Chain A
Amino acid sequence: MPQDANQVKDHFSLFREPEYKELIANKRANFENRHAPEKVQEVVEWAKTEEYKELNFKREALVVNPAKACQPLGAVFAAVGFEGTIPFVHGSQGCVAYYRSHFSRHFKEPTSCVSSSMTEDAAVFGGLNNMIDGLANTYSMYKPKMIAVSTTCMAEVIGDDLNAFIKTAREKGSIPAEYPVPFAHTPAFVGSHITGYDNAMKGVLEYFWDGRAGTIDKVARVPNGKINFIGGFDGYTVGNMREVKRIFDTMKVEYTILGDNSDVWDTPTDGEFRMYDGGTTLEDAENAVHAKATISMQEFCTEKTLPMIAAHGHETVAFNHPVGVEATDRFIMEVARLAGVTIPDELAKERGRLVDAIADSNAHIHGKKFAIYGDPDLCYGLAQFIMELGGEPVVVLSTNGGKGWAKKMQELFDSSPFGAGCKAYPGKDLWHMRSLLFTEKPDFLIGNTYGKYLERDTGVPLIRLGFPIFDRHHKHRYPVWGYQGAMNVLVTILDRIFDHMDATTDGIATTDYSFDIIR
């Protein structure tokens, strides 16, 4: 009997006991009708070849293991960054269960979000009644300060009109006449979660700046000296937002964070569940129209939002998820220029410490080859940092990156000898990446949790950076932006490199010589 009350075995060890090994083997041999092991091995080897890669890249319709999610996920991300706001997703309810689960698995935090629970009758007659009842229920139960509406693909396919529906709901008394309900259409069959973030952020700002969907007059802009900051869809939002605020405070910049998720996804365990915590106040969101400039930390998350803001008279500046010394330099200097402040020595010192760390450690990274995948801006920031460290990106893949992104990546590669052999792969998925790992043979892979399947199949060690990270805890608490954030990224990369060195040199009486105590 394998189980023992004093040393309880769970799945990690239970199924390695002989009784279970036999059970699993017998099941396979007698009932599963599997292919012969030799046949399986043959295909395993074939799938590693150039020939397979070619076939794989010929795919036109099938998508396997994509590194992207759908629009409403991004809309929910943007919405919970506003004070007391509950995202309301109009369409099928299962989608909302998925978004909430997805965020909770990454942040290890609750994510509150409601659905209008449309079913077959709504598919036929439209979801107006769901909107009317839904807004009334959400408003009375959860007492939000704002309800931010977005859509699932179901509502989009049948063509529900959010503006008209919300207006009707208001007339029917579901919500008070003046109550803020910004909205954005977020069809899942267009773009990805970053598109949804963009649409929702634009929806909220337009709502407040342009007369609250026709309910009041447009706000007349009176420019002030403030800077708006938009982070974009970011798995490190908790750590990053706090770091950015610290940097701005250090620089004495007057700023407004638009969509600040750092508190709602980092609430304390102190006996109280906070459905809402922190976030951009609605007043600040409205007054943000008066700012002199708006910064987007992720260009591809704000492709529509930023031009809309520019049209309101702001100077706008977009970055591509800046990571590292030079990228952060540019960010800090732009902030200083826009805000008309000088850069304090404190930041110069932080910068110096990062350069110091890179000087200490870069020998372990120099010349190593990296494959990177993730959201378009993240890919850019990480590739730039890798090159700064003397590493060589060889494959940079973004399922939700387009041609414009690929061009931008190529310009980046062309800017440095360390980018010479690198290629950007827009619109490709992690099954493409699997082929590339076999044929391009990078030393390390950078990506999110799903990369662990690639690591297992190809043997290329995974450095976990991205979203989602489900199988490591608390990474989202550590910034990757700013000089200190770059330090965290550097340490994450180095830790994996060192772990890999140890794991590949620990053969007793075979590789004793490289198993060093000092590295």
Chain B
Amino acid sequence: MAEYSTQEDHEMSVSTPTNIAEVKERNRALIQEVLSVYPEKTAKRRAKHLNVHEEGKSDCGVKSNIKSIPGVMTIRGCAYAGSKGVVWGPIKDMIHISHGPVGCGQYSWASRRNYYVGTTGIDTFGTMQFTSDFQEKDIVFGGDKKLAKIIDEIEELFPLNKGISVQSECPIGLIGDDIEAVSKAKSKEHGGKTIVPVRCEGFRGVSQSLGHHIANDAIRDWVFDKSEGKAPNFEPGPYDVAIIGDYNIGGDAWSSRILLEEMGLRVVAQWSGDGTIAELEATPKAKLNVLHCYRSMNYISRHMEEKYGIPWVEYNFFGPSKIEESLRKIASYFDEKIQAGAEAVIAKYKPLMQAVIDKYKPRLAGKKVMLYVGGLRPRHVIGAYEDLGMEVVGTGYEFGHNDDYQRTAQHYVKDGTLIYDDVTGYEFEKFVETVKPDLVGSGIKEKYVFQKMGVPFRQMHSWDYSGPYHGYDGFAIFARDMDMAINSPVWKLPAAPWKQDPDYVAIAAE
């Protein structure tokens, strides 16, 4: 951090004058205040998800990965969203059937910005919506025959597809369909084609999270086990790595891959942004799995470690401080050549990073941020904000587990940070109203709520249609975007001048 200091660091204080004890007291009172609106039973349950972080604690002191409470307006999604929307959807040369009624596939159609390159509809299918569009008769009589027919029709009309996944929507598990049997039979019929049944019905689990796990397991059972013994298309080398848990949102995986390649590594697979089935199949040949989104892909990383002896390492490519740390950490798994490569990459980009910080830090230093996102971002982006002299004063996970909160407490958040797990619409609104951050980073459902309140906002799931944010190239974009959000002239306009001018009011009243 000190390496990227600017002159302004010595002139302006990074945090507001409020002392930490006062902040903690305010945050605790705030939690009590929001809890007071709930019926008693709900207040008791929600209390466990809200906390003020105490420095030195091993986690954030909140319960997580627990069922959302009915009727409170949780921001969470479902297992289908975690499997089809996150893990499987980006595998570009496969066709992913949203199996069940039309809605799930429709709402998640091309909305996650998993960038890819390919001929859509011919050899690539990422921004398409394939659905079995269940009708009442399918619910009553079962959808297995329909699924079998769908697979045949896909083979006829989309002959260049490299595989099919069946993404179960709620009814599938409720009506007792046997999608495994259909998948197996059809795979055999179509020459051993990869057909993957995924039991990611939306009612399973408590959030997207179980969908990630189920999707990981499906890769294990229906891709790895099937492709065992199959030689990859390339000769394995000593520096082969796989990027795990990067969905290439706005091109994130590409701006990450470029750094790994520049330091001398060879990236043999991307999971799953701009990914292909061949890359999935080849990954057990990698020497190291580098894991960005721990939450959604730790399962498959652990499996590959156990079964194939491939170590995995978590990294963070948001902001130069964390990138630097991560490049060195990744390099430490390899020889001096790669370690020297990492140092060369760090040195190469240092002037660019300094230029970005010189330009944006003076405009952003001291600004307070509140986050509420999913996956890795409630902690991973904190370093990037801090590189710009900003301070994250509140954060929470949509579907995190305790291991996420441990990582957050041990490596990321400051004393007194407001922590909110599975926050409700009401709580988030009240927290922002009182804490008055300069920026909120969350999702599309939250964006307009806070902008109406006059609070600058960036979507931190989709990068608000910008990106990439990963890597050195991405950090420049991140800095630019945070600046344009906070320092947009529009935020001077929400209050009508005549409503603020006491003289005008007095004159008008006469």
Task: Decide: A114 and B103 in contact? CB cutoff 8 A.
Answer: no
Does A176 have its Cβ within 8 Å of any Cβ on chain B?
no
Task: Decide: A73 and B480 in contact? CB cutoff 8 A.
Answer: no
Task: Point out the residue from B102, B234, B352, B359 that lies within 8 Å of A63, measured CB to CB.
Answer: B102
Task: Decide: B448 and A109 in contact? CB cutoff 8 A.
Answer: yes
Task: Point out the residue from B74, B93, B276 that lies within 8 Å of A115, measured CB to CB.
Answer: B74
Does B269 have its Cβ within 8 Å of any Cβ on chain A?
yes
Task: Decide: A269 and B150 in contact? CB cutoff 8 A.
Answer: no
Task: Decide: B170 and A157 in contact? CB cutoff 8 A.
Answer: yes
Task: Point out the residue from B106, B117, B139, B449 that lies within 8 Å of A189, measured CB to CB.
Answer: B139
Does A158 have its Cβ within 8 Å of any Cβ on chain B?
yes
- Among B173, B349, B448, B467: residue with most chain A CB under 10 A: B448
Task: Point out the residue from A24, A134, A138, A157 that lies within 8 Å of B117, measured CB to CB.
Answer: A24
**A55 CA to B78 CA in the complex, in Å?**
35
Known pairs A94-B81, A154-B203, A273-B453; A11 contacts B467 (CB<8 A): yes
Task: Decide: A154 and B174 in contact? CB cutoff 8 A.
Answer: yes
**A31 CA to B117 CA in the complex, in Å?**
14
**A153 CA to B352 CA in the complex, in Å?**
52
Does A135 have its Cβ within 8 Å of any Cβ on chain B?
yes
Does A27 have its Cβ within 8 Å of any Cβ on chain B?
yes
Separation in Å of the B65 CB from the closest CB of chain A?
12
Task: Decide: B160 and A62 in contact? CB cutoff 8 A.
Answer: no
Task: Point out the residue from A35, A66, A109, A137 that lies within 8 Å of B123, measured CB to CB.
Answer: A35
Task: Decide: B81 and A138 in contact? CB cutoff 8 A.
Answer: no
Does B80 have its Cβ within 8 Å of any Cβ on chain A?
yes
- Among A14, A20, A47, A109: residue with most chain B CB under 10 A: A14
**A100 CA to B74 CA in the complex, in Å?**
11
- Among A11, A63, A115, A272: residue with most chain B CB under 10 A: A11
Question: Which residues of A from 1 to 42 have beta carbons under 8 Å from B?
Answer: 1-6, 8-11, 14-15, 19-20, 23-24, 27-28, 30-35, 39-40
Does B250 have its Cβ within 8 Å of any Cβ on chain A?
yes
Does A510 have its Cβ within 8 Å of any Cβ on chain B?
no
Does B69 have its Cβ within 8 Å of any Cβ on chain A?
yes
Contacting residues, chain B, for A33 (C-beta < 8 A): 162, 233, 276-278
Task: Decide: B149 and A112 in contact? CB cutoff 8 A.
Answer: no
- Residue on B nearest A434 in the bound complex, by CB: B121
Task: Decide: B254 and A20 in contact? CB cutoff 8 A.
Answer: yes
Task: Decide: B452 and A141 in contact? CB cutoff 8 A.
Answer: no
Separation in Å of the B461 CB from the closest CB of chain A?
10
Known pairs A56-B157, A93-B74; A70 contacts B452 (CB<8 A): no
Query: How many residues in A have their beta carbons less than 8 Å from beta carbons of B?
Result: 109
Contacting residues, chain A, for B270 (C-beta < 8 A): 27
| Stretch of B16-24, B187-195, B312-320, B468-476 at the chain-chain interface | B468-476
Task: Decide: A189 and B203 in contact? CB cutoff 8 A.
Answer: no
Does B2 have its Cβ within 8 Å of any Cβ on chain A?
no
Task: Decide: B254 and A116 in contact? CB cutoff 8 A.
Answer: no
Does A108 have its Cβ within 8 Å of any Cβ on chain B?
yes
Separation in Å of the A332 CB from the closest CB of chain B?
35
Question: What is the interface residue range for chain B against chain A?
Answer: 35 or more
Question: Which residues of B from 97 to 142 have beta carbons under 8 Å from A?
Answer: 100-104, 106-109, 111, 115, 117-123, 127-136, 138-139
| Stretch of B288-296, B332-340, B423-431 at the chain-chain interface | B423-431
Separation in Å of the A495 CB from the closest CB of chain B?
23
Known pairs A14-B255, A119-B205, A140-B37; A43 contacts B153 (CB<8 A): no
Known pairs A66-B102, A273-B429; A20 contacts B258 (CB<8 A): yes
Chain A positions 133 through 175: 1 when the CB is less than 8 Å from some CB of chain B, otherwise 0: 1111110111000000000111001100000000000000000
- Among A33, A56, A65, A189: residue with most chain B CB under 10 A: A189
Task: Decide: A273 and B466 in contact? CB cutoff 8 A.
Answer: no
Contacting residues, chain A, for B250 (C-beta < 8 A): 10-11
Does B175 have its Cβ within 8 Å of any Cβ on chain A?
yes
Separation in Å of the B473 CB from the closest CB of chain A?
4
Contacting residues, chain B, for A135 (C-beta < 8 A): 71
- Residue on B nearest A92 in the bound complex, by CB: B202
Task: Decide: B480 and A65 in contact? CB cutoff 8 A.
Answer: no
Task: Point out the residue from B106, B156, B170, B257 that lies within 8 Å of A23, measured CB to CB.
Answer: B257
- Residue on B nearest A118 in the bound complex, by CB: B203
**A273 CA to B479 CA in the complex, in Å?**
27
Task: Decide: A117 and B352 in contact? CB cutoff 8 A.
Answer: no
- Among B38, B255, B472: residue with most chain A CB under 10 A: B255
Task: Decide: B160 and A23 in contact? CB cutoff 8 A.
Answer: no
Task: Decide: B355 and A117 in contact? CB cutoff 8 A.
Answer: no
Known pairs A5-B355, A62-B150, A140-B37; A101 contacts B67 (CB<8 A): no
- Among B75, B269, B449, B494: residue with most chain A CB under 10 A: B449
Does A68 have its Cβ within 8 Å of any Cβ on chain B?
yes
Does A192 have its Cβ within 8 Å of any Cβ on chain B?
yes
- Residue on B nearest A267 in the bound complex, by CB: B452
Does B397 have its Cβ within 8 Å of any Cβ on chain A?
no
Does B154 have its Cβ within 8 Å of any Cβ on chain A?
yes
Does B30 have its Cβ within 8 Å of any Cβ on chain A?
no
Contacting residues, chain A, for B117 (C-beta < 8 A): 24, 28
Separation in Å of the A138 CB from the closest CB of chain B?
4
Contacting residues, chain B, for A100 (C-beta < 8 A): 445
Contacting residues, chain A, for B37 (C-beta < 8 A): 140-141
Task: Decide: B121 and A457 in contact? CB cutoff 8 A.
Answer: yes
Contacting residues, chain B, for A320 (C-beta < 8 A): none
Does B279 have its Cβ within 8 Å of any Cβ on chain A?
yes
Task: Decide: B153 and A61 in contact? CB cutoff 8 A.
Answer: yes
Task: Decide: B120 and A6 in contact? CB cutoff 8 A.
Answer: no
Task: Decide: A114 and B72 in contact? CB cutoff 8 A.
Answer: yes
Chain B positions 233 through 246: 1 when the CB is less than 8 Å from some CB of chain A, otherwise 0: 11000000000000
**A99 CA to B37 CA in the complex, in Å?**
26
Contacting residues, chain A, for B104 (C-beta < 8 A): 94-95, 98
Known pairs A97-B81, A187-B136; A61 contacts B445 (CB<8 A): no
- Residue on B nearest A34 in the bound complex, by CB: B123
Contacting residues, chain A, for B251 (C-beta < 8 A): 11, 14-15
Does A512 have its Cβ within 8 Å of any Cβ on chain B?
no
Does B26 have its Cβ within 8 Å of any Cβ on chain A?
no
Does A232 have its Cβ within 8 Å of any Cβ on chain B?
no
Task: Point out the residue from B69, B103, B153 that lies within 8 Å of A133, measured CB to CB.
Answer: B69
Contacting residues, chain B, for A34 (C-beta < 8 A): 93, 118, 123, 276
Question: Which residues of A from 402 to 451 have beta carbons under 8 Å from B?
Answer: 431, 434, 450
Task: Decide: A153 and B76 in contact? CB cutoff 8 A.
Answer: no
Question: Which residues of A from 44 to 67 have beta carbons under 8 Å from B?
Answer: 44, 47, 52, 55-56, 59-66
Does A268 have its Cβ within 8 Å of any Cβ on chain B?
yes
**A115 CA to B153 CA in the complex, in Å?**
36
Q: Which 5 A-B pairs have the closest CB atoms?
A: A94-B78, A70-B103, A134-B70, A134-B71, A33-B278
Binding site for A on B (CB under 8 A): 37-39, 41-42, 67-81, 93, 100-104, 106-109, 111, 115, 117-123, 127-136, 138-139, 146-147, 149-150, 153-154, 156-157, 159-160, 162, 169-171, 173-175, 202-206, 208, 233-234, 250-251, 254-255, 257-258, 261, 267-270, 274, 276-279, 282, 348-349, 352, 355-356, 358-359, 424-426, 429, 443-454, 466-468, 472-473, 476-477, 479-480, 490, 494-496
Binding site for B on A (CB under 8 A): 1-6, 8-11, 14-15, 19-20, 23-24, 27-28, 30-35, 39-40, 43-44, 47, 52, 55-56, 59-66, 68-73, 88, 91-95, 97-102, 104-105, 108-120, 122-123, 130-131, 133-138, 140-142, 152-154, 157-158, 187-190, 192, 267-274, 431, 434, 450, 453, 457
Given A11-B115, A59-B153, A69-B103, 12 further pairs, Cβ under 8 A: A5-B476, A61-B146, A62-B149, A64-B131, A70-B106, A93-B78, A101-B111, A116-B70, A137-B72, A141-B424, A157-B171, A431-B157
Jot down 30 A-B pairs with beta carbons below 8 A, ordered by A.
A3-B472, A4-B352, A8-B479, A9-B473, A14-B468, A15-B254, A31-B278, A59-B153, A62-B149, A63-B102, A63-B130, A64-B157, A69-B103, A97-B78, A98-B81, A98-B104, A99-B107, A100-B445, A101-B107, A101-B111, A117-B68, A117-B69, A118-B70, A133-B71, A136-B71, A138-B71, A153-B134, A158-B174, A431-B157, A457-B120
